[in-house]
Amino acid sequence: MKLHYKVIAAIGAISVFSCVLSVSEAAKIDAYKNILLSKSYTIKYDNITPPRRLTNRDKTPLFGNSGMAVDKNDYLTNRQRSGVVTSDGQNRYEEVGDGTFSQCRLIKGNEVFNFTKYPQKNNPKIFEYMGNKKNKVAAVKRNYLAEAVEGESYGDTDVTRILNIMLSKNANATYFYAGGGALPNGLSYEDYKSSAGGFTGVIRYYFNGNDLVKIAAAEFYKNNSGNLEGTKHIIKIKEFVSEPDQQLLKLPEGLSDTTKR
Amino acid sequence: MKKRLLTAALILSLSSSIAGAEQNAAENYRQIFASGDFYVEYQDNYTKRVIGEKNGKRMERTVYSGAGLATAFNPLGALFGGGTTKYPEVMYKDGKFYQFQSDDKAIVCDKADLAYENLNPKEGWNGIERKLALPTELAVFFWEDPYREKNSVIGKPSATWSGKKKIEDKEYDCDRYASLITRASGKGESYYVYEMLYEKGELTIARSYVKTGDEEHLINEVKIKKISGNMPDNLFKISKKTKVYAAGKGDMDDLLENPAEVEQMEGI
């Protein structure tokens, strides 16, 4: 009789556990969504899929891009890009590069500092900066419109778009939970899907335990000529935490501010 | 979604309650633009521009700051005559876009070919429709403008407020309009706000803002010099025997940088 109770208790415990598991699995990405919404984060990633080369068909919108235009830099074409984004709610720093040469943007309140960062020729351990001049940078006005229209920027344009999908309220591309499960390599995943008006988008978040480690996304749509076009992205998440990196939220040593205020 | 509907409803209810307070000139401007025969002269931080439309032709000319010296006899510099060139920078006519490189040389591209992938990117055809667009702020009077840059997330503006506004000791009659930006960045709903400032019944300053929650940030300001119907014939001038060359389309002529002459214009 006692054994019987134990079996029932065990079955009960398993079913409760699996219930909790299924709820928590579907909610794993929500933890990261909340980090983005809190505006306090440090994210480090590798965008493994390089952007398509721009042609003269590509149009730059009047309102500007919220992400940095890394796809217009020849040196980054067909290469993996690494990105760092950190924010404390008021200030934000973004950096995208190939490991040695990086485009950087520091947003402090209403001001934006754009500069590049590269190792010194003679001493590769020390970085040099190029703003308006070597080791000098002047602030420009922050583009609030691009942020309102396109969402917050997370460095690389593709990563910006894909991370904004998590927060998307855009009726044209709302992603819904489409399933999830475990993979033989020990990772688990959550799938989200959007299909509306000739556009299909799928996105899979990979988790190691509760840690987001990879994002894979594919999008298909018909172009103006009616042909199917598509893009795919694989993003390796190296770090995604809610603590801002304060060291990065100020102009680096060696780069002076020449803004006339 | 519910919240968005509510805010949209709020804009609508606001607009119906204060529609009577809009400046009389606003409706006049709407009629001018709808007539298809108008011109606009305005100035922003970097440029002075003239845009005109008549008989289905839309033309535009830009003077970049510093290019035309303003004097006591010609206070607006190169923009309004005074011996300076008057040819348009860009023109749309009969299904074709023209770009003038000098007063007697232009290049041309069919409207249908604008999306052609082998168009010479150096010629800048992808920005040509935007050059003919009126300033974004004037969308409150001419939302149907075919050259207005379409952005699916910014809706049609509705009137939200009318009253007086003081800027640097000067008081203006002010009309405000707002468009809902349907994609929010996680801070709550954003609005694209248009602010029209009138002096003696005429629009003199048009501003645009982005408003998110309680934060409002100025995006752009243009000083309107003139909005008028009946575009004068001499506002733009194209000299006789202007040679028009075909746009580079990646063919042999383009490769050899020897564009084919396709027509000769006999003035406007």
The ipTM, to two decimals, is 0.72
Cα angle for residues B220, B224, B228 (degrees, 5° grid): 140
Rounded CA separation A119/A231 (Å): 33
**Is the pLDDT at B76 greater than 80, yes or no?**
no
Nearest-angstrom CA–CA distance, A69 and A155: 9
The CA distances from residue B54 to B34, B80, B103, B229, in Å, are: 11, 19, 20, 9
Any A CB within 8 A of B241 CB: no
Contact A149 B151 (CB under 8 A): yes
| Pair B57, B39: CB distance under 8 Å | no
Does the pLDDT of residue B7 top 70, yes or no? no
> Mind giving me the DSSP string for A99-143?
SSSEEEEEEETTEEEEEEEEE-SS-TTSEEEESSBBTEE--EE--
Contacts of B16 (CB under 8 A, 6+ apart): none
Whether residue A222 lies inside any domain: the answer is yes
Residues A149, B119: C-beta atoms closer than 8 Å: no
CA distance A41 to A237: 13
Percentage of residues in chain B with pLDDT exceeding 70? Answer: 82
Distance of CA A207 to the CA centre of its chain: 16
Under an 8 A CB cutoff, do B121 and A56 touch?
A: yes
Residues of B in contact with A169 (CB under 8 A): 4, 182-184
Q: Residue A205 maps to which CATH number? A: 2.50.20
- Number of neighbours of residue A105 by Cβ within 10 angstroms: 18
* Residue that is written with structure tokens 């990633």 in the block: A45
> Are residues A149 and B219, on separate chains, in Cβ contact within 8 Å?
no
Structural tokens at position A214: 């990879």
Q: Which of A47-56, B60-69, B88-97, B112-121 is predicted most confidently?
A: B88-97
- Flag residues of chain A having pLDDT under 50: 1-3, 12-25, 55-63, 170-172
Question: Among A76, A254, A255, A257, which residue's Cα sits nearest to residue A157?
Answer: A76
Q: Find the CB nearest A148 among B127, B152, B210.
A: B210
- Phi and psi dihedrals of B74, rounded to 5? -140, 70
A37: chain B residues, CB-CB within 8 Å: 186
CA-wise closest residue to B106 among B254, B244, B267, B266: B244
Q: Is residue A190 situated within a structural domain? A: yes
Whether A147 and B185 lie within 8 Å, measured CB to CB: yes
Residue of A nearest to B123 (CA): A56
Distance CA(B110)–CA(B94), nearest Å, equals: 9
Contact predicate B51/B145, CB 8 Å: no
- What is the least distance, in Å, from the CA of A22 to any CA of chain B? 27
B181: contact with A, CB 8 A cutoff: yes
Amino acid at A108: K
In a domain, A192, yes or no: yes
Residue A13: what pLDDT? 47
- Indicate if the pLDDT at residue B4 is higher than 70: no
- pLDDT tens-place string over residues B173-223: 999 999 988 764 445 678 999 999 999 999 999 999 999 888 899 999 999
Encoded tokens for B186: 């996680």
Chain B nearest-CA distance from A184, in A, is 36
Q: Is residue A215 one of the residues assigned to a domain?
A: yes
Find, in chain B, the residue whose alpha carbon is nearest to that of A151. B185
B212 vs A: CB within 8 A: yes
Q: Identify the band that residue B13 occupies on the pLDDT scale cut at 50, 70 and 90.
A: very low
Per the CB < 8 Å rule, is B182 touching A150? no
Out of B117, B154, B186, the one facing A149 most closely (by C-beta) is: B154
CA atoms of A16 and A20, how far apart (whole Å)? 6
The parent domain of residue A229 ranges over 27-257
- Which chain B residue lies closest to A110 (C-alpha atoms)? B217
Q: Are B46 and B65 in contact (CB under 8 A)?
A: yes
If one counts the domains in chain A, the total is 1
Q: Which of A60, A149, A224 sits opposite B153 (nearest CB)?
A: A149
Contact state of B181 with A151 under an 8 Å Cβ cutoff: no
CB contact under 8 A, A61 and B121: no
Residue A1 lies in a domain: no
Cβ partners under 8 Å of residue B137, min gap 6: B194, B196, B206, B207, B208, B220, B222
In sequence order, which ranges of chain B are alpha helices (DSSP H)? 2-18, 24-35, 128-131, 252-255
CB contact under 8 A, A169 and B183: yes
Per residue in B131-152, pLDDT (tens digit) is 999 999 999 999 999 999 888 7
Residue B219 to residue A167, Cβ atoms within 8 A: no
What residues have CB less than 8 Å from B103, skipping those under 6 apart? B85, B87, B238, B239, B242
B86, B233 Cβ separation under 8 angstroms: no
Q: CB–CB of A137/A255 below 8 Å? A: yes
| Minimum Cα–Cα distance from A163: chain B residue | B185
pLDDT bracket for residue B85 (50, 70, 90): low
pLDDT given at position A210: 93
CA distance B209 to B216: 6
Closest chain B residue to A167, measured at CA? B186
Q: CA angle at residue A46 from A45 to A51, to 5 degrees?
A: 125
Query: From CA A4, how far away is CA A1, in angstroms rounded?
Result: 5
Residues 6+ apart with CB under 8 A from A175: A165, A168, A192, A193, A194, A201, A203
Residue of A nearest to B1 (CA): A169
- B61 forms bridges with which residues in the sheet? B50
Interface of A with B (CB under 8 A): 36-37, 39, 55-63, 110, 142, 144-145, 147-152, 167-172, 224
Which amino acid appears at position A105 of this protein? Answer: R
Domain-embedded: residue A21 = no
Tens digit of each residue's pLDDT (9 = 90 or more) over A150-208: 778 898 888 888 888 877 654 445 788 899 999 999 999 999 998 877 889 999 999 99
Distances (CA, A) of B36 to A106, B55, B86, B229: 46, 7, 21, 8
Q: pLDDT, tens digit, for every residue of A94-111? A: 999 887 888 999 999 899
Domain-embedded: residue A159 = yes
Cβ within 8 Å, pair B149-A167: no
Q: Is residue A18 part of a domain?
A: no
Which residue in chain B is spatially nearest to A141 when comparing CA positions? B219
CA distance, residue A169 to nearest chain B CA (Å): 6
Of B45, B46, B114, B185, which to mutate for an interface test with A (greatest number of A Cβ within 10 Å)?
A: B185
Q: CB distance A57–B153 less than 8 Å?
A: no
Measured between CA atoms, the residue of chain A closest to residue B115 is A57
CB pairs under 8 A between A and B: 68
